[in-house]
């Protein structure tokens, strides 16, 4: 489907909602971010990088008031299988968790991979493993919310 067709059918705000899995928490962002390493380890994700965007942008002369943390995480076994058969998926990797403050809540989010994973449905083993990984990622976000 062409980009123009999609844009005509789905407003931009709804596109963002379609491609995002997010949950809100009343826990302070500091408490949630402190639990990221343990929750990732428990769910067999490795943390590759951590970005504190409030600090990064302030250092570049563009301070923001909102706290925003991005975590790049990975399950190497699934990543290796995906990249072996579908290197075009590299643009979606590694998985990211965004944790930010918004309207008095802490938002914990990631990309909704369900649509993209349909592209590998024909490879049943890979599709099942990647879907299980995404389900684990969603459970990880819920664990962070409740931590």
The tens digit of pLDDT for each residue in 99-109 reads 999 999 999 99
Burial of 52 (0-12, 13-18, 19+ CB in 10 A): middle
Q: Which domains does the chain have, with CATH numbers?
A: 21-146 (3.30.310.70)
Mean pLDDT of the chain: 92
Q: pLDDT at position 18, please?
A: 82
The tens digit of pLDDT for each residue in 117-140 reads 988 999 999 999 999 999 999 999
CA angle, residues 16, 126, 108, in degrees to nearest 5:
30
- Report how far residue 15's alpha carbon sits from residue 105's, in angstroms, rounded to the nearest whole number: 22
pTM of the full structure: 0.89
- Report how far residue 34's alpha carbon sits from residue 114's, in angstroms, rounded to the nearest whole number: 28
């Amino acid at each position: 489907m062409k980009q123009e067709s999609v844009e005509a059918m789905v407003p931009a705000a709804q596109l963002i909602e379609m491609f995002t899995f997010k949950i809100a928490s009343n826990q302070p962002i500091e408490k949630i971010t402190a639990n990221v390493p343990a929750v990732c380890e428990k769910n067999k994700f490795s943390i590759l990088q951590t970005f504190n965007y409030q600090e990064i942008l302030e250092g570049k002369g563009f301070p923001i008031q909102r706290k925003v943390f991005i975590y790049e995480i990975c399950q190497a076994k699934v990543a290796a299988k995906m990249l072996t058969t579908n290197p075009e998926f590299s643009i979606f990797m590694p998985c990211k968790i965004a944790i930010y403050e918004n309207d008095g809540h802490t938002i914990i989010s990631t990309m909704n991979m369900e649509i993209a994973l349909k592209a590998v449905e024909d490879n049943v083993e890979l599709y099942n493993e990647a879907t299980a990984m995404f389900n684990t990622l969603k459970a990880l976000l819920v664990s962070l919310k409740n931590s």
